[in-house]
């Protein structure tokens, strides 16, 4: 089956974490992903660790894409970061508004992701492939669905090359969002974000934090397993594999895996999908 994969990591906090992540991306490299993305903390709080991780992956000859958030920053600071990435040969950026760090009151000079995309294009032309975020179940801070769709369209119109969605488990939400985006004139690829499930309690925390919905049938089933981690893992693999199969059948241009710095679940799902 020919479909483009990409995978996402968060920057490790310790030397041990860095060594573990090194082993993870080495394993995942066998899937030949289109790129490895590395997240960026609120207000750029993990900036150096993000850069170090991206630079190491790039130095290994693999395609890397740092996340770059603009909230709480300045044009000058963003310009410096873009140049650092250009200097080490990075050609793809995941451009996000980001979250304002706790206690920081000033949102900075670039307040929205479309402004960041426009700034990157103005400063660097076509050097970077620019990914942006999309929210099939709507951004938790959006005023209404129409406003959310228009925000997404503004990012595409500003020069984004493609989009990666927040994770979800309702394929209908993705298909509906893509149809709405196309109806609004958005033509860029919209790649579904996929979250493999190793721990239901951890998944529930992530979902609550980002506004993603865990369908009731899934939640009840996971809850029924209690602390049976083997059953949770097995059921999670089945659910996510079936979701990916439906997304591929619906014409998804790729799959973006939120790995949480683990290789095994993503590797198993890719194997089941014969990717």
Interior/surface letters 181-204, b for 16+ CB within 10 angstroms, e for the rest: beeeebebebbbbbbbbbebeebe
Q: Report CA-CA distances (Å) from 35 to 55, 125, 240.
A: 13, 20, 21
Give the catalytic positions in this structure: 8
Beta pairing, strands 129-134 & 92-96: parallel
Cβ-count burial of 220 within 10 angstroms (0-12 exposed, 13-18 middle, 19+ buried)?
Answer: exposed
Q: Identify the three-state secondary structure at position 150.
A: helix
Quick one: three-class SS letters along 55-67?
HHHHHCCCCEEEE
111 neighbors 45 (Cβ within 8 angstroms): no
Distance CA 145, CA 166 (A): 15
């Amino acid at each position: 089956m020919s479909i483009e994969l990409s995978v996402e990591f968060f920057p490790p906090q310790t030397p041990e974490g860095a060594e573990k992540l090194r082993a993870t991306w080495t394993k995942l490299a066998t899937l030949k992903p289109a790129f490895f993305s590395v997240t960026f903390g609120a207000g750029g709080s993990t900036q150096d660790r993000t850069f170090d991780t991206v630079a190491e992956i790039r130095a290994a000859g693999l395609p890397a894409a740092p996340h770059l958030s603009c909230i709480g920053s300045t044009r000058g600071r963003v310009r410096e970061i873009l140049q650092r990435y250009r200097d080490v040969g990075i050609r793809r950026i995941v451009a996000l508004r980001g979250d304002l760090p706790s206690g920081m009151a000033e949102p900075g000079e670039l307040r929205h992701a479309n402004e960041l995309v426009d700034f990157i294009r103005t400063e660097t032309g076509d050097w970077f492939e620019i990914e942006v975020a999309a929210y099939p179940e709507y951004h938790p801070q959006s005023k209404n669905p129409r406003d959310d769709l228009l925000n997404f369209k503004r990012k595409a119109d500003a020069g984004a090359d493609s989009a990666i969605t927040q994770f979800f488990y309702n394929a209908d939400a993705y298909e509906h969002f893509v149809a709405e985006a196309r109806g609004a004139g958005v033509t860029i690829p919209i790649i579904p974000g996929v979250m493999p499930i190793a721990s239901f309690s951890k998944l529930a925390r992530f979902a609550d934090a980002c506004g993603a919905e865990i369908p009731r049938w899934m939640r009840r089933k996971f809850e029924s397993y209690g602390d049976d981690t083997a059953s949770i893992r097995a059921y999670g693999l089945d659910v996510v594999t079936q979701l990916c199969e439906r997304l591929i059948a619906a014409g998804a241009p790729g799959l973006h895996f939120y790995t949480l710095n683990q290789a095994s679940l993503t590797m198993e799902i890719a194997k089941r999908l014969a990717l």
